[in-house]
Amino acid sequence: MTRYVMVADLRRCVGCQTCTAACRHINGTPPGVQWRRVLDMEIGVYPNVHRAFVPVGCQHCSDPPCLDVCPSTATRKRDDGIVTIDYDICIGCSYCAVACPYDARYKVSRAEFAYGGEGMANEQAVFDPRRINVATKCTFCVDRIDAGTAKGLTPGVDPEATPACVNSCIAQALHFGDIDDPESNVSKLVRDNEHFRMHEELGTNPGFYYLWDAAGEEEK
Amino acid sequence: MRGITPYRQNYWDWRAAGNFMYGGTGSGLIISSLLALAYDEPTLLHIVIGLVFMATGLGLVWLEIGRPFRALNVFLHPQRSWMTREGFVATVAFGVGAAAIWFGHPLLIAGTAALALLFLYCQARILRASKGIPAWREPTLAPLIVATGLTEGVAASLALVSAAFTMTMVALVVLLTLRAWSWRRYRLASETAVPTAAARVLAAFSVPFLLLGHALPLALLIADMALGNRYPALTYFAAVLAFGSGWAFKFMVVRYAAQTQGFAIIHRPARGPRGSGGGGVKPGWGS
């Protein structure tokens, strides 16, 4: 089996938001819609304050609550773990949006572009009217993955088959790959480092791993 | 604006709240027709008004969805979605209810009431399945939603019955007590299960809800019963309070206590070659 996951190395992320920009560029998401976001979190109280940059978005959960609630079956999970939305049958009820504990879903009611008007060339190139009034979210750049794997490329290794946010990361904080393959880049990263997944207690089994320290270095 | 801390969701607005308000009262009213049926009283108005309320609630939801002309797609996922199940149950309830109105057979009336109860249960489970909103997914909310719908329905039915009046009053006393107990359970469970902002909303609502929505109507009902039903105005006022507080509760839960989960990390990252990790943070939640 294959399960594609994202790994974010919190030690490396500098919060530059290049992943956010890359995602917006390639997917042409309207203003206010960020399928890939980077949170700037403060931990502790003065004078002992730390800062962490935390990439978030759809976690492509193994047990996605959005899939359970979707009344139209527009939300589906592929065999490779990627959670998708069929824009042609989604009714835009937003039930998935209130079911998602990762605040990953968006719905816009009209076409909007970064600088107004008809939009920039890249926005026009990827503009999809089917995305109006329905739920949208990060797709793990599923089109790139499918096109890449069809050419025999390996997602997470070959940039042509890898999500745009991962390709663009200046600090190599974001990684993508098949967690079911013990020899994959993501499997090795998860094995060799201390990690956690967000809101795991909610039973969603998210496909987004956060590395925070080298293995065996907990609470030095 | 989306940030790190939980914020009040805006996906479901007053129209969604209206579905729970109208749907709860409508189904409760249909269920309360069983009391009238037991006293051989007409149940026509219970069922007609109840179905109109349920339809109004569903109509409000239809106004809220982004692609209203695809509304029939709501029926595609009965295996897992409580919204689909709600739609199916409502459809069957409208059919059986229409037959009950036309033929007036007790079995059809009882069948409509059973379907109305199922509809109410579906509504409760819709909220329970909303994992992104802690105040909704809290398990003790579901019985409270059912108790509230029944209370509103029985309160509304007081205007429609005569022979069953006293028994309906007793039922309202029981349901108000049950609703107060369910609210208390929900409040206690929510203290640590919802973000701080949602807990504040629930806390602010609690005292007025218990006093005006429970203590006062209970006192009025008991006073009227003790006085031999000589002052039905007391009972009607109690019913209005029971009904109105139920609607206020549902509007509050759907619109104001609906804070999102927010984000959290359970460890802060190690920084630099000699840096070390540490504890995490969960902004917007109590310690």
Which domains, and CATH codes, for chain B?
A: 14-263 (1.20.1630.10)
Is A202 within a domain?
yes
- pLDDT, residue B29, reads 98
Burial class (CB in 10 A: 0-12, 13-18, 19+), B276: middle
Instruction: For residue A43, give the nearest of B9, B67, B281 by CB distance.
Output: B281
Put simply, the answer to whether A102 touches B73 (Cβ < 8 Å) is no
Cβ-defined contact of A50 to B271 (cutoff 8 Å):
yes
pLDDT at A167: 98
Contact: A65, B269; criterion CB under 8 Å: no
CA of B61: which chain A residue's CA is closest? A93
Provide the number of structural domains found in chain A.
Answer: 1
Which of the residues B5, B13, B72, B73 would you substitute to probe the A interface, choosing the one with the greatest number of A C-beta atoms within 10 Å?
B73
| Residue A218 maps to a domain | no
In a domain, A52, yes or no: yes
Instruction: Determine the Cα–Cα distance for residues B248 and B211; give it in Å rounded to an integer.
Output: 13
Could A70 and B277 be called an inter-chain contact, meaning their C-beta atoms sit closer than 8 Å? Answer: no
Question: B188 to chain A nearest CA, in Å?
Answer: 20
Q: Look at residue A17 and tell me if it is in a domain.
A: yes
Contacts 24+ apart (CB under 8 A), B138-142: B138/B186, B138/B189, B138/B190, B138/B193, B138/B194, B139/B189, B140/B182, B140/B185, B140/B186, B140/B189, B140/B190, B141/B186, B141/B253
| Contact residues, chain B, for A44 at CB < 8 Å | 268, 281
> Along the 220 residues of chain A, how does pLDDT read in single tens digits?
999 999 999 999 999 999 999 999 999 999 999 999 999 999 999 999 999 999 999 999 999 999 999 999 999 999 999 999 999 999 999 999 999 999 999 999 999 999 988 899 989 999 999 999 999 999 999 999 999 999 999 999 999 999 999 999 999 999 999 999 999 999 999 999 999 999 999 999 999 999 999 987 554 4
> Per the CB < 8 Å rule, is B83 touching A103?
no
Return all residues near B20 (Cβ < 8 A) that are at least 6 apart: B57, B123, B127, B145, B250, B254
In A, which residues are within 8 Å of B138 by CB distance? none
- In terms of Cβ atoms closer than 10 Å to its own Cβ (0-12, 13-18, 19+), residue A2 is middle
In 10 A of CB B108, how many CB atoms? 18
Where do we find the tokens 């049950």? B178
Report the residue of B131, B253, B285 to disrupt the A interface, i.e. the one with the largest count of A CBs within 10 Å. Answer: B131
Q: What's residue B287's pLDDT?
A: 65
Contacting residues of B for A56, CB less than 8 Å apart: 263
Note whether residue A145 is domain-resident: yes
What was the ipTM of the complex prediction?
0.95
Residue A217 falls inside a structural domain: no
Q: What are the chain B neighbours of A49 within 8 Å (beta carbons)?
A: none
A219 inside domain = no
Residues of chain B with C-beta less than 8 angstroms from the C-beta of A214: 270
Contact B268/A at CB under 8 A: yes
Phi, psi of B35 (to 5 degrees): -65, -45
Q: Is B84 on the interface with A (CB under 8 A)?
A: yes
According to DSSP H, which parts of chain B are helical?
14-38, 44-64, 82-103, 106-128, 134-137, 141-157, 165-193, 196-210, 216-226, 232-251
Best to test chain B binding among A10, A91, A100, A130 (most B CBs inside 10 Å): A91
- CB B76 to CB A72 under 8 A? yes
Using CB atoms, pick whichever of A43, A71, A199 lies closest to residue B74: A71
**Chain B stretch 201-240, residues whose beta carbon is closer than 8 A to a beta carbon of chain A:** none
Query: Could you tell me which of B197, B206, B146 has the C-alpha nearest to residue B8?
Result: B197
Question: What SS3 state is found at B38?
Answer: helix
Q: Does B117 touch chain A (CB under 8 A)?
A: no
Encode chain B (287 residues) as per-residue pLDDT tens digits.
Answer: 588 999 999 999 999 999 999 999 999 999 999 999 999 999 999 999 999 999 999 999 999 999 999 999 999 999 999 999 999 999 999 999 999 999 999 999 999 999 999 999 999 999 999 999 999 999 999 999 999 999 999 999 999 998 899 999 999 999 999 999 999 999 999 999 999 999 999 999 999 999 999 999 999 999 999 999 899 999 999 999 999 999 999 999 999 999 999 999 999 999 887 888 899 999 999 86
Question: Which residue of B lies nearest to A54 if distances are taken between CA atoms?
Answer: B265
pLDDT digits (tens, 9 = 90+) for B150-193: 999 999 999 999 889 999 999 999 999 999 999 999 999 999 99
Cβ within 8 Å, pair B11-A107: yes
Residue of A nearest to B264 (CA): A198
Give residue B1's pLDDT: 59
Note whether residue A220 is domain-resident. no
| The pLDDT of residue A219 | 46
The tens digit of pLDDT for each residue in B47-79 reads 999 999 999 999 999 999 999 999 999 999 999
Cβ–Cβ gap A107/B71 under 8 Å: no
Portion 63-122 of A in contact with B at CB < 8 A: 65, 67-74, 89-95, 97-103, 107, 109
CB contact under 8 A, A199 and B261: yes
Residues in chain B with CB shorter than 8 Å from the CB of A71 are 73-77, 81, 83-84, 87
- Tell me what pLDDT residue B274 has: 81
Nearest to B81 among A10, A68, A218 (CB): A68
Of B71, B133, B277, the CB nearest to A212: B277
List the CATH number of the domain containing A65. Answer: 3.30.70.20
How high is the pLDDT of residue B21? 98
Domain of residue A190 covers 4-212
